[in-house]
């Protein structure tokens, strides 16, 4: 099991979401380290609430991972609904 798979499991990610990249910054004197986890969705995935219109970059601060601040970064799709409205897809790691 690699680090991407460990974080996918820990975050409870399911299709179409996956960990694309993890960047870890070591702690320095007096400062916490940092983990940046980049999430993405499968190319061409059809979301149930509409056709993908575009994406927006979002960042969330997650709980610390030992002495490291943890941030999740994702390209979040916006979909066009049947009534012509554009809405952002709800992501499983963010509170509603």
12 falls within a domain:
yes
Q: What is the mean pLDDT of residues 5-24?
A: 95
Tell me the average pLDDT across 73-93. 92
Alpha-carbon distances, residue 33 vs 14, 15, 37, 86 (angstroms) = 28, 30, 13, 38
Q: Is residue 95 part of a domain?
A: no
H/E segment holding residue 52: strand 51-65
Q: In Å, how far are 41, 49, 62, 96 from 82, measured between CA atoms?
A: 22, 8, 33, 22
CB atoms within 10 A of CB 57: 8
pTM of the model: 0.88
Q: Helical H runs in 1-96? A: 3-11
Q: Is residue 94 part of a domain?
A: no
Tokens describing residue 12? 């409870």
pLDDT band at 37 (very low <50, low <70, confident <90, very high): very high
Domain count of the fold of the chain: 1
Which residues span the domain enclosing 63? 3-88
Q: Quick check: 95 pLDDT over 80? A: no
């Amino acid at each position: 099991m690699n680090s991407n798979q460990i974080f996918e499991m820990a975050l409870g990610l399911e299709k179409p979401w996956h960990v694309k990249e993890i960047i870890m910054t070591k702690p320095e004197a007096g400062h916490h380290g940092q983990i940046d986890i980049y999430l993405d969705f499968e190319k061409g995935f059809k979301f149930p609430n509409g056709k993908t219109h575009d994406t927006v970059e979002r960042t969330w601060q997650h709980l610390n991972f030992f002495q490291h601040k943890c941030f999740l970064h994702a390209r979040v799709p916006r979909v066009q609904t049947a009534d012509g409205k554009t809405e952002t897809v709800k992501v499983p790691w963010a509170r509603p």
